[in-house]
Amino acid sequence: MNKGRTLPKRKARPIQETITVAVLSLVSLTYLYPLLWLIINSLKTDTEMFIDPWSVIPSFQFDNYATAWVSGKIGTSFFNSVMVSFTSVGVTIVVASMAAFALKRFKWKLSGFVMGLFLIGVMIPIHSTLIPLFMVFNKIGLLNKHISLVLPYVAFALPTSIFILSGFMATFPKEIEEAAVIDGCSMKGVFWRIIFPLSKSSIATISIFNFVTAWNELMFALIFMTSDSKMTLPVSLTRFKGQYSTSWTIQLAAVVIMVLPSLIAYFFLNDKIIKSLTIGAVKG
């Protein structure tokens, strides 16, 4: 009898763990360094930047940000980008979640065919539609209006968003809906009160991805917006380069202003994004 016998404890492997931490730290530094370089040089004068662009301690020229905001009309462009991006993301969330709910939670013959039609949109390069959309919007009078940006942003965000949401909604047990219906809840109520709240991690994922895409998009905004008052941030950044000279530190400050909203959004939603992307990894 071997009463009281215990299994030997696994020996710690400090060497492997140290190597892993070192490699991950190096990878993290590789990704973070360009952002740190951008912020540091945005706080320098042009002279300091060209003399030593790799110096860590700048002279803290916060006037660069004020100049970029006022002289570059970043304020107006920032508001335009916020309006276009949030509108696009909001419409995409509502339409994609409803479509995914209908495709995965209802039984109808053409659901697979319709899903295939949506997925075809993933294979269409977004900028291949630039000329056709320009001709259509010009004919119906939508050029230089923000709706001409919202419509293509939503259209090209829907395929991927529906794909992500439908895969997530397919994991929900049918008993949830059946219990709600038995209690007198309509299908509309099932969607808005049960399915939609349960999908918040996937919704956060498509929200940040679509927000970054709309926020950084340049070509549509450059072609469709013809007046300064309608331009978005990426278009405004192209105006910082002068004919004879360019203040690179002010331009870097404008880039920092443009990057911050995406970083802030990811900072608050990163836990939900990770949960959504790994939801299938623990399924048996």
- pTM for the model stands at 0.81
- pLDDT tens-place string over residues 181-231: 888 888 888 889 888 988 888 898 899 999 999 999 999 999 999 888 899
Would the pLDDT of 270 be above 50?
yes
Confidence of residue 246 (pLDDT cuts 50, 70, 90): confident
pLDDT at 118: 84
Q: Is the pLDDT of residue 242 over 70?
A: no
- Per-residue pLDDT band for 282 (boundaries 50, 70, 90) equals very low
- In this predicted structure, the answer to whether residue 5 has a pLDDT above a threshold of 80 is no
pLDDT score at 10: 54
Listed range (131-135, 145-149, 279-283) with the worst mean pLDDT: 279-283
Could you tell me the pLDDT band of residue 281, with boundaries at 50, 70 and 90? very low
In three-state form (DSSP H/G/I as H, E/B as E, the rest C), the secondary structure along the chain is CCCCCCCCCCCCCHHHHHHHHHHHHHHHHHHHHHHHHHHHHHCCCHHHHHHCCCCCCCCCCCHHHHHHHHCCCHHHHHHHHHHHHHHHHHHHHHHHHHHHHHHHHCCCCCHHHHHHHHHHHHHCCHHHHHHHHHHHHHHHCCCCCCHHHHHHHHHHHHHHHHHHHHHHHCCCCHHHHHHHHHCCCCHHHHHHHHHHHHCHHHHHHHHHHHHHHHHHCCHHHHHHCCCHHHCCHHHHHCCCCCCCCCCHHHHHHHHHHHHHHHHHHHHHHHHHHHHHHCHHHHCC
193-207 pLDDT, tens digit per residue, is 888 988 888 898 899
pLDDT in tens, 43-93: 888 888 888 888 877 778 888 888 888 877 788 899 999 999 999 999 999
